[in-house]
């Protein structure tokens, strides 16, 4: 036997294996069922879930194999781990790697093997899902695929459990910190339903007290902020705003003295698909020190801001009676005007129309003594046509004898970049909120098109786009010329948008063509298109897109693999690279959700295929022998409890061996299939028709007495005998015999009931076949 191979990342692999704490753990029922299922489906002598550490191969689950572990040097699975892919050994005696293996040379030793790696995070092969047999075996491709799909499912299950354990650990850490998690229920009335254990440390009240039915949370809030808190909370409950974010004081006693402490409160509503609020989750942070510092700084700023800013910003002086505004010369240069232009400038005509009313309101508030100063942000038009943001602060410095303001002085400075940064930070927060929302919605609905229908318009709004598209490459796509459409928005026409959404829900596929879009799919790099796009650069057939004057085409990844793309187009300005950073969390989320959707579909398909294989007869598609006996045992127990009529019929095709001898086994198989089709047409939905083996079949007729069952079997017999079976232009006459027995209390065992049906069948054959005989009349 050759030396044992090791994967390149062996040390990192072992570190992860030990970190997962899977070795030497108790049996897991899910893993045990998987090994049993794999053993049955692949027809093997044993099935194992293995984990390979430094020196041994340990079995997390096993069926058909007695030893709890083996040496790694003797392990077939270590070769799978080193290669990172499925390995099939049809005859170990003929394989140089294993021909001298002690488990091969032993009496009744291993002859065939198939194993698929259990892989976490793309590159860490921890063990295998494998089967072994004592005889050589060629595993069909379909069986190997089932093995690989279930191994992938095991990998995902282990990874999910690992993440859940980390989440629980993080929550325990949070409970020991300065942040208290709380949850409000909505029905039957709004009240706290969960308060973290650290509530007393953060709020000064134990969680048992706050959870009492006779205690309302707002009762511990300072009266000055109580109404504001209740109002904001109600807006969250009514869906008028997405979240609550505020500071307020909590009343508490410290060393017997009444005190108040500031807390910062953030809360967000959980909603169902219809938008109804299910609950409100919140976090409360003891913010007393920070709030005191904030208030002190605010007071300092109010007292000294003008003096500190006077030497750094541009100054202005406004004589109110004649509306004369004088500004320092750099202000004019900032707006793009020369000193000559300054004399003819009317500053009010430069202010953005939407800001004039706000400026007047702030001015009136200050003139009436409602505020200690005039402060406002507003926009002025640059000479080239775009707008600059200014922050202006001023005070009335003189009044007439009646108290009317005469003159104001102040400072202003250009905050255009600051506003742009604030807008970008706000957009980042919106993106993160959107990521959280779509992840939550996907986990609830598992509908990726609904996720895109919600997320795509928001990303279009952030970038000022008029066209949006999200598409997914089919799994295993090589040519990359087809996309499954998950999201599509064109313009603002509601009728057109609804029509497009109907197409998307019908699993619309588009054919991709054009140098630009193909480049994104093949190279995996985004494309910034600042000029109009031609059909040679991008087309999506059969969709007719409007003329694209610009576009940003971004690939969607999962683990460095391009699995789809997003297109945003027709913005009023242009697409800059900052949008990539802004949208990256959302792009990564969409790529991950696409992958999760694929994995879930593949898992469901594999489970369904395995279920079909395990419950139906492979040739005819009717219930197999095991399923039929399980059903008849249940009906037997039901009769013994309730004495409802139950009848079973055992059917045998007359002289069927002659069909195989005269026409061949292929023709015989076709006759069996058509016989099943004709029979099922004559039965009710509640009747169970199954194949017991060869040409022997059975029908279970629940809630049916023997005489009615005889009528049903006679219909079947006549339908079979009436028309010959036609196979490759050959007419084959087939008849059947049936024995029918109604279950009785005297049938002390299930076998007694079936034996009476068998006896009736033999009677039908003795009487010349092509007839149905009941046990009561035989």
Task: Convert the pLDDT of each residue in 578-634 to its tens digit.
Answer: 888 878 887 888 778 777 777 766 677 666 666 656 678 889 989 999 989 998 998
**DSSP assigned state of 532:** P
The pLDDT assigned to 494 comes to 47
Rounded-to-integer distance, Cα 46 and Cα 110, Å: 10
Which one, of 714, 722, 724, 674, lies nearest residue 695 by Cα? 674
Rounded-to-integer distance, Cα 718 and Cα 679, Å: 10
Which one, of 471, 337, 315, lies nearest residue 397 by Cα? 315
Sequence-distant (6+) residues with CB within 8 A of 668 are: 656, 659, 660
Rounded-to-integer distance, Cα 377 and Cα 392, Å: 6
Rounded-to-integer distance, Cα 660 and Cα 61, Å: 44
For strand 772-774 and strand 736-742, is the pairing parallel, antiparallel, or unpaired? parallel
The pLDDT assigned to 150 comes to 94
Give, in order, the Cα–Cα distances in Å from 287 to each of 202, 284, 294.
Answer: 9, 9, 10
Question: Domains in the chain, ordered, with CATH?
Answer: 10-172 (3.30.450.40), 176-294 (3.30.450.20), 310-414 (3.30.450.20), 421-597 (3.30.450.40), 625-774 (3.30.70.270)
Say which residue the tokens 């087309």 belong to. 539
Q: Between vectors from CA 15 to CA 11 and to CA 21, what angle results, nearest 5°?
A: 150
**DSSP assigned state of 620:** T
Rounded-to-integer distance, Cα 442 and Cα 209, Å: 36
Percentage of the chain beyond pLDDT 70 is 88
Query: Is there a contact between 511 and 541 (Cβ–Cβ < 8 Å)?
Result: yes
CB atoms within 10 A of CB 325: 14
The pLDDT assigned to 495 comes to 46
Q: Is 695 a catalytic residue?
A: yes
Q: What is the mean pLDDT of residues 214-236?
A: 92
Question: What does the block give as tokens for 530?
Answer: 């600042």
**DSSP assigned state of 275:** S
Say which residue the tokens 């610009």 belong to. 550
Q: What is the mean pLDDT of residues 197-212?
A: 89
Q: Between vectors from CA 630 to CA 629 and to CA 636, what angle results, nearest 5°?
A: 85
- H or E stretch covering 252: strand 243-254
Summary mean pLDDT of the chain: 85
Sequence-distant (6+) residues with CB within 8 A of 322 are: none
Rounded-to-integer distance, Cα 128 and Cα 652, Å: 45
Give, in order, the Cα–Cα distances in Å from 700 to each of 173, 636, 709.
Answer: 59, 11, 9
Q: What is the mean pLDDT of residues 310-331?
A: 70
The pLDDT assigned to 711 comes to 95
Rounded-to-integer distance, Cα 274 and Cα 688, Å: 41
The answer on pLDDT for 778 being more than 80 is no
The answer on pLDDT for 445 being more than 70 is no
Give, in order, the Cα–Cα distances in Å from 54 to each of 79, 118, 289, 578.
Answer: 14, 17, 52, 47
Rounded-to-integer distance, Cα 377 and Cα 423, Å: 14
The answer on pLDDT for 173 being more than 80 is no
The answer on pLDDT for 309 being more than 70 is no
Per-residue pLDDT reduced to its tens digit, 519-530? 888 888 899 998
**DSSP assigned state of 70:** E
Four-CA torsion 284, 289, 293, 294, nearest 10 degrees = 10
The pLDDT assigned to 312 comes to 46
Rounded-to-integer distance, Cα 594 and Cα 600, Å: 10
Q: Using pLDDT thresholds of 50, 70 and 90, give the confidence band for residue 170.
A: low
The pLDDT assigned to 610 comes to 64
The pLDDT assigned to 769 comes to 95
- Mind giving me the DSSP string for 656-679? HHHHHHHH-HHHHHHHHHHHHHHH
CA torsion through residues 480, 484, 490, 496, sign: positive
Rounded-to-integer distance, Cα 774 and Cα 650, Å: 11
Rounded-to-integer distance, Cα 430 and Cα 487, Å: 19
CB atoms within 10 A of CB 64: 16
Which one, of 742, 741, 714, 740, lies nearest residue 645 by Cα? 742
Euclidean distance between the first and the last CA atom of the chain, given in angstroms as a whole number: 67
Q: Using pLDDT thresholds of 50, 70 and 90, give the confidence band for residue 223.
A: very high
Q: For residue 224, give the 3-state DSSP assignment.
A: helix
Question: What does the block give as tokens for 477?
Answer: 């796509």
More confident residue, 499 or 301: 499
Q: What is the mean pLDDT of residues 700-709?
A: 94
The answer on pLDDT for 310 being more than 60 is no
The answer on pLDDT for 188 being more than 60 is yes
Q: Using pLDDT thresholds of 50, 70 and 90, give the confidence band for residue 313.
A: low
**DSSP assigned state of 736:** E
Q: Using pLDDT thresholds of 50, 70 and 90, give the confidence band for residue 755.
A: very high
Q: What is the mean pLDDT of residues 290-299?
A: 68
- Between 240-244, 351-355, 765-769, the lowest mean confidence (pLDDT) is in 351-355
Rounded-to-integer distance, Cα 519 and Cα 513, Å: 10
More confident residue, 191 or 434: 191
311 prior amide bond cis, ω within 30: no
C-alpha atoms less than 13 angstroms from C-alpha of 662 in its C-beta half-sphere: 12
Q: What is the mean pLDDT of residues 307-323?
A: 66
The pLDDT assigned to 1 comes to 40
Per-residue pLDDT reduced to its tens digit, 232-271? 999 999 988 989 999 999 998 887 788 888 999 999 998 8
Which one, of 724, 740, 731, lies nearest residue 773 by Cα? 740
Q: What is the mean pLDDT of residues 476-493?
A: 76
Indicate which residue of 441, 472, 695, 706 is catalytic.
695
Residues facing residue 361 across a β-bridge: none
């Amino acid at each position: 036997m050759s030396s044992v191979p090791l994967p390149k990342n062996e040390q990192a692999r072992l570190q992860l294996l030990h970190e997962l704490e899977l070795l030497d753990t108790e049996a897991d029922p899910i893993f045990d069922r998987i090994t049993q299922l794999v053993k049955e489906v692949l027809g093997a002598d044993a099935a194992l879930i293995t984990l390979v550490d430094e020196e041994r191969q340990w079995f997390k689950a096993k069926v058909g194999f007695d030893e709890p572990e083996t040496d790694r040097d003797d392990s077939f699975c270590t070769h799978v781990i080193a290669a990172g892919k499925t390995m099939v050994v049809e005859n170990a005696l003929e394989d140089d790697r294993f021909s001298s293996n002690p488990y091969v040379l032993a009496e009744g030793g291993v002859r065939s093997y198939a194993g698929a790696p259990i892989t976490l995070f793309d590159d860490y092969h921890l063990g295998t899902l494998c089967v072994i047999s004592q005889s050589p075996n060629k595993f069909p491709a379909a069986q190997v695929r089932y093995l690989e799909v279930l191994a992938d499912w095991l990998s995902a299950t282990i990874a999910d459990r690992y993440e859940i354990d980390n989440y629980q650990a993080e929550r325990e850490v949070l409970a020991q910190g300065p942040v208290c998690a709380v949850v409000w229920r909505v029905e039957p009335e709004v009240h706290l339903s969960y308060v973290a254990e650290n509530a007393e440390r953060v709020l000064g009240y134990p969680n048992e007290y706050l959870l009492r039915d006779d205690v309302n949370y707002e009762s511990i809030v300072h009266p000055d902020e109580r109404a504001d808190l209740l109002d904001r909370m109600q807006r969250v409950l009514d869906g008028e705003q997405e979240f609550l974010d505020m500071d307020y004081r909590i009343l508490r006693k410290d060393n017997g003295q009444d005190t108040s402490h500031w807390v910062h409160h953030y809360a967000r509503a959980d909603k169902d698909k219809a938008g109804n609020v299910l609950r409100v989750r919140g976090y409360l942070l003891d913010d007393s020190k920070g709030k005191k510092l904030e208030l002190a700084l605010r007071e300092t700023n109010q007292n000294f801001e003008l003096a500190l800013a006077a030497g750094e910003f541009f100054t202005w002086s406004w004589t109110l009676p004649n509306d004369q505004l004088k500004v320092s010369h750099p202000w004019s240069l900032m707006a793009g005007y020369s000193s000559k232009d300054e004399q003819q400038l009317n500053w009010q005509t430069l202010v953005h129309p939407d800001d004039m009313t706000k400026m007047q309101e702030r001015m009136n508030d200050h003139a009436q003594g409602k505020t200690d100063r005039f402060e406002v942000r507003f926009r002025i038009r640059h000479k080239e046509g775009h707008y600059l943001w200014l922050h202006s602060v001023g005070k009335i410095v003189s009044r007439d004898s009646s108290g009317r303001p005469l003159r104001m002085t102040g400072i202003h400075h250009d905050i255009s970049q600051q506003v742009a940064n604030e807008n970008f930070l706000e957009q980042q927060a919106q993106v993160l909120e959107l990521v959280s929302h779509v992840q939550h919605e996907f986990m609830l609905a598992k509908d990726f098109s609904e996720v895109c229908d919600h997320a795509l318009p928001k990303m279009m709004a952030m970038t000022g786009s008029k066209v949006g598209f999200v598409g997914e490459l089919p799994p295993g796509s090589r040519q990359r010329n087809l996309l499954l459409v998950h999201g599509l928005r064109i313009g603002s026409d509601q009728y057109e948008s609804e029509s497009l959404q109907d197409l998307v829900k019908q699993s619309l596929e588009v054919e991709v063509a054009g140098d630009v879009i193909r480049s994104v799919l093949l190279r995996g790099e985004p494309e910034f298109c600042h000029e109009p796009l031609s059909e040679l650069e991008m087309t999506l057939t059969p969709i007719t897109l409007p003329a694209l004057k610009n576009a940003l085409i971004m690939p969607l990844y999962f683990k460095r693999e391009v699995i789809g793309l997003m297109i945003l187009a027709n913005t009023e300005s242009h697409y800059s690279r900052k949008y990539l950073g802004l949208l990256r969390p959302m792009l990564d989320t969409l790529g991950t959700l696409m992958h999760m959707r694929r994995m879930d579909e593949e898992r469901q398909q594999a489970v369904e295929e395995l279920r079909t294989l395990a419950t139906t007869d492979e040739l005819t598609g009717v219930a197999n022998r095991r399923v039929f006996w399980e059903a008849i045992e249940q009906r037997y127990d039901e009769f013994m409890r309730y004495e409802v009529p139950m009848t079973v019929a055992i059917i045998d095709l007359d002289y069927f061996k002659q069909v195989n001898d005269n026409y061949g086994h292929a023709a015989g198989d076709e006759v069996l299939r058509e016989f099943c089709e004709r029979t099922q047409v004559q039965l009710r939905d509640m009747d169970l028709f199954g194949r017991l083996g060869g040409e022997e079949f059975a029908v279970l007729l629940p809630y049916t007495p023997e005489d009615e069952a005889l009528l049903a079997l006679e219909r079947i017999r006549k339908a079979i005998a009436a028309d010959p079976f036609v196979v490759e232009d050959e007419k084959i006459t087939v008849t059947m015999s049936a024995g029918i027995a109604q279950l009785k209390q005297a049938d002390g065992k299930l076998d007694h009931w079936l034996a009476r049906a068998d006896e009736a069948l033999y009677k039908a054959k003795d009487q010349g076949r092509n007839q149905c005989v009941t046990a009561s009349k035989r």
